[in-house]
Chain A
Amino acid sequence: MQTSVAKQERPLRLRVSNLSITYKTHRGILHAVRNASFEAWEKESLVFIGESGCGKTTLCTSLVGMQPVNATPIGGTVKYFGEDREYSILEMSDKQLAKIRWKDIAMMFQASQNAFNPVILMKEHFIDTAQSHLVGQSRKAILDKSRKLLELVRLDADRVLNSYPHELSGGMKQRALLALSFLLDPKVIIFDEPTTALDVLTQRYIIDILRDLRDKFSFCMLFITHDLSVAAELADTVVTMYAGQIVEKAPVGEIFSNPKHPYTAGLIQAVPTLSSTHEDLKSIPGSTPDLVDMAAGCQFAPRCKFATALCLKEEPQLVEVGPNHVTACHHHEYIPPIVKKG
């Protein structure tokens, strides 16, 4: 309940309502995101989990109008609430979008260590970024700010600014990009798998830095990952996606102990942990459904042990099952809480 009270006091940053996105493929229309709705508030960190192909990246890239060219939003709205006015992202032109990208909403893509231009110095990246949005800032002012940010992500600022991207390690590039994304004080930052492909100690380091930064600045963070342990570390709210749909959304403590969607429960039970002494991990049987030729009813039904005739016929809608906890399952009351291992 506490979180819900606290939430009201903070400004709303994003509201996505009934967003549906399709891809044109040679086999037909692929329904990548269907009827997704969520809100994100200042200082909140929202973590999207789900298997590959569940639509989490498509959903989040559409929030900055950066979805792939063959993706078409077919319905719904995305509203971003800036300091002084609100924006309807889906109705904005590329030119208008370019103004708010990075300045208001920044996005770090998957494998974004490769995002740097290999032939210019790191400091030119910072200067370029700042000057394309804020006219008339001196190089010195920008570099001073960059230095501060680079120190926040615990890098040797002068060395990094005067290096070419290839002179930095993967973890350093990742942190430099993190600093770059804060350069224009964005209100919303979207991270797409920023810690995959990093070593354990580097990953831990980046998680710690992200948490620090979140306390220092008041941004709203959307975080995409398939790694549940990273979600457990960083999330306030966890959103589970399956077959293009948001199937569950709940506060982090709640979802890990008391998931109300069989898919979330299945994911949690499939993650190996260190703390348990002995374990019997269960994988979710079956595979993800075809999003071109979609079956009727609940998309998860063929893999679900709670499924009944109703599930095959009628698609469940999100219903409230607790404070800030919604799930799309006909039989959510039958799903047992997670038994703490060890």
Chain B
Amino acid sequence: MSSELCRVNNLTRVFNKGARDVVVLNGLNFSINEGETFCVVGESGCGKSTTGRILAGLLQPTAGDVWFRGVNLAERSKKQVKAFRKEVQMIHQDPYASLNPTRRIFDILSYPLLRHRRGMDYGELLESVSDLLTKVGLTPVEDFLDKYPHQLSGGQRQRVSIARALTVDPKFIVVDEATSMIDTSLKISLLDTLTKLQTELGVTYFFITHDLALAKHFAWNGRIAVMYLGEIVELASAQHLIQAPQHPYTKALLSALPEADPQVTRTKKRFELTGHEIPSLDNLPTGCKFHPRCPWNVKGLCGVNAPSLQSFNGSCSVACHVVHGESHKN
């Protein structure tokens, strides 16, 4: 077993919305090993990006702590902060908002190099930047160096974001829906580039997506966590989660996903939910947050007690009363 890189204990984040508090993350616990791919899936608003931002050190948790290489993020020295920023990078979701519109692509990619590796001359910089652009498929490089972000398409900007995250040879990358605007074929080749970095340099990924098929492809040897309204409802190895999902929400997600094969996708067995609208974070259901939509809902139990994430059969962790057989005890 490889060593632990990152651990979160009871991670909670509350945002203020006017006078009210909105709980976006509610007591997450998990750890990520060095060289692992840890994938998070879930619908919008489930807190997956917030978790990613906290792990990347861009947002402070309201309660609970994050440990990186045995150091609590809240108690770092100035030197440790700088080392952390070199080791940990984030690829943001929205490439329209995350690239400075007044800088050229060359500037965007060379600033982090100058910040973390002082004393590079122009020739070295140009060479490094060109390498990065080639890596993410923005060729011919000369066409892109002097462009501004507004001259690029969504997919091209996402590739610049990916290249920017790779500038400082990070060891841990938070990838937030980084390929959502890129065409399938290129998407696969970019993910392969990321996977190659992992095998060669042992990079660890925290991969955020809403596409389970993509999660399966990218995290084939890693783990997938399914989040629902700020909580992890199921956590298992990618292969196990896809082949033998336990939580009703995971089952629903997997069965709802269309597949690129007309025969398979039109005869696919559905796991029907009883409700279609995701509850608002302002007004969360009591007990298990999934119970208003859950076909397994047990009256007097699921709406009252919140299930905790517990190991099931030793192969995965699930937060569900019914899976753990607690419903029969009542």
Q: A residues touching B (Cβ–Cβ < 8 Å)?
A: 51-53, 154, 169, 172, 199-205, 207, 226-233, 235, 252-253, 256, 266-268, 270-275, 277-279, 281-284, 287, 340
Known: A204-B256, A274-B216. 15 other contacts (CB 8 A): A51-B183, A169-B277, A199-B44, A200-B210, A201-B278, A204-B258, A229-B259, A233-B266, A235-B262, A252-B262, A253-B263, A272-B213, A272-B214, A273-B213, A283-B189
Is the pair A201, B273 in contact by a Cβ cutoff of 8 Å? Answer: yes
Q: Which of B187, B252, B266 lies in contact with A201, CB distance below 8 A?
A: B252
A233 to B260, CA, bound (A): 8
Given contacts A274-B254, A283-B186, contact A256 B210 (CB under 8 A): no
- With a cutoff of 8 Å between Cβ atoms, the chain B residues found around residue A230 in the complex are 258
A253 to B277, CA, bound (A): 33
Question: Chain B CB within 10 Å — which of A51, A266, A268, A340 has the most?
Answer: A51
- With a cutoff of 8 Å between Cβ atoms, the chain B residues found around residue A199 in the complex are 43-44, 210, 278
Q: Which of B43, B137, B253 lies in contact with A287, CB distance below 8 A?
A: B137
Q: B residues touching A (Cβ–Cβ < 8 Å)?
A: 43-44, 137, 139, 153, 155, 183-189, 192, 210-214, 216-217, 220, 242-243, 252-254, 256-266, 273, 276-278
Q: Which of A172, A200, A267, A282 lies in contact with B212, CB distance below 8 A?
A: A200
Closest A residue to B215 by CB, please name it.
A272
A200 to B273, CA, bound (A): 13
Q: Which of B153, B184, B252 lies in contact with A267, CB distance below 8 A?
A: B184
Given contacts A200-B257, A226-B183, A284-B185, contact A253 B262 (CB under 8 A): yes
Is the pair A274, B213 in contact by a Cβ cutoff of 8 Å? Answer: yes
Is the pair B43, A226 in contact by a Cβ cutoff of 8 Å? Answer: no
Q: Interface residues of B: mostly helix, strand, loop or mixed?
A: helix
Q: Which of B254, B258, B273 lies in contact with A232, CB distance below 8 A?
A: B258
Given contacts A229-B265, A233-B266, contact A283 B260 (CB under 8 A): no
The 8 lowest CB-CB distance pairs between A and B, nearest first, are A204-B256, A283-B189, A272-B217, A229-B258, A199-B43, A51-B183, A228-B260, A271-B260
Is the pair A256, B217 in contact by a Cβ cutoff of 8 Å? Answer: no
Closest A residue to B276 by CB, please name it.
A205
Is the pair B253, A200 in contact by a Cβ cutoff of 8 Å? Answer: yes
How near does chain A come to B85, taking the closest CB pair, in angstroms? 31
Given contacts A199-B43, A201-B253, A201-B256, contact A270 B261 (CB under 8 A): no
How near does chain A come to B253, taking the closest CB pair, in angstroms? 5
- With a cutoff of 8 Å between Cβ atoms, the chain A residues found around residue B192 in the complex are 283
How near does chain B come to A342, taking the closest CB pair, in angstroms? 9
A340 to B276, CA, bound (A): 33
Closest A residue to B186 by CB, please name it.
A283
